[in-house]
Amino acid sequence: MSKILVVGNSLAVVKAIEDIRRDDQQSEIALFCTEGVLPYDRLSLPSLVAGTIKESHTHSITESFFKEHRVEVIAKEKLLRISLKRKYLTTENKTQIDYDKLFIADLGSVTDLPVKGHQKKGVFDCFLLSSVKGLIKYLPFTDTVFVMVTNMQGFNTACALHALGKEVNIITSENKLLPSYIDDETSALLKQIVENQGIRVILENTIEEILGDSDIKAVRLQSGKVIAAQMVVADMLPLDWRLITEETGFEKIGDDYFEMGLPLKPTHFGFKAVEGFCVGMTKLPESGREYLKFDGPQNIYKKIFAQGDVLVGAVLFNAPSHEKEILKTITERVSIEGQEEALIGG
Mean pLDDT of 258-264: 44
Q: What percent of the chain has pLDDT over 70?
A: 94
At residue 256 the predicted structure's pLDDT band, cuts being 50, 70 and 90, is very low
User: What would the pLDDT profile of 116-139 be if each residue is shown by its tens digit?
Assistant: 999 999 999 999 999 999 999 999
Q: What is the pLDDT of residue 345?
A: 81
Report pLDDT digits (tens) over 327-345: 999 999 989 998 888 888 8
45/60 Cα distance (integer angstroms): 13
Structural Rg of the chain based on CA atoms: 22
Cβ distance 190 to 182 under 8 Å? Answer: yes
Sign of the four-CA dihedral 11, 6, 35, 59:
positive
Picking from 64-73, 146-155, 252-261, which range would have the lowest pLDDT averaged per residue? 252-261
Question: For residue range 201-245, what is the model confidence (pLDDT) as tens digits?
Answer: 999 999 999 999 999 999 999 999 999 999 999 997 877 777 676
Report which residue type is found at 110: V
DSSP code of 269?
E
- pLDDT one-digit tens code per residue, 307-330: 999 999 999 999 999 999 999 999
Cβ atoms within 10 Å, residue 107: 21
* Per-residue pLDDT band at 254 (split at 50, 70, 90): low
Q: How confident is the model at residue 257 (pLDDT cuts 50, 70, 90)?
A: very low
In eight-state DSSP terms, residue 59 is -
Domains of the chain: 3-109+240-252 (3.50.50.60), 123-234 (3.50.50.60), 275-343 (3.30.390)
pLDDT single digits (tens) 160-187: 999 999 999 999 999 999 999 999 999 9
What are 290-300's pLDDT values in tens digits? 999 999 899 99
Give the pLDDT of residue 229: 98
- pLDDT for the residue 238: 77
How many residues would you count in the chain? 346
Q: What secondary structure does DSSP assign to 36-58, as a single string?
A: SS--B-GGGHHHHHHTSS-GGGG
Q: 253 pLDDT exceeds 70?
A: no
In one-letter notation, the amino acid at residue 172 is: T
Q: What is the mean pLDDT of the chain?
A: 91
- Which residues, including other chains, have CB under 8 Å from residue 296's CB and lie 6 or more apart? none
Q: How high is the pLDDT of residue 258? A: 41
Distance (Å, whole) CA 47 – CA 57? 10
pLDDT of residue 262: 38
Q: How far, in Å, CA of 78 to CA of 34, rounded? A: 7
pLDDT, position 252: 67
82-128 per-position pLDDT tens digit: 998 899 999 999 999 999 999 998 888 888 899 999 999 999 999 99
pLDDT level of residue 261 (50, 70, 90 thresholds): very low
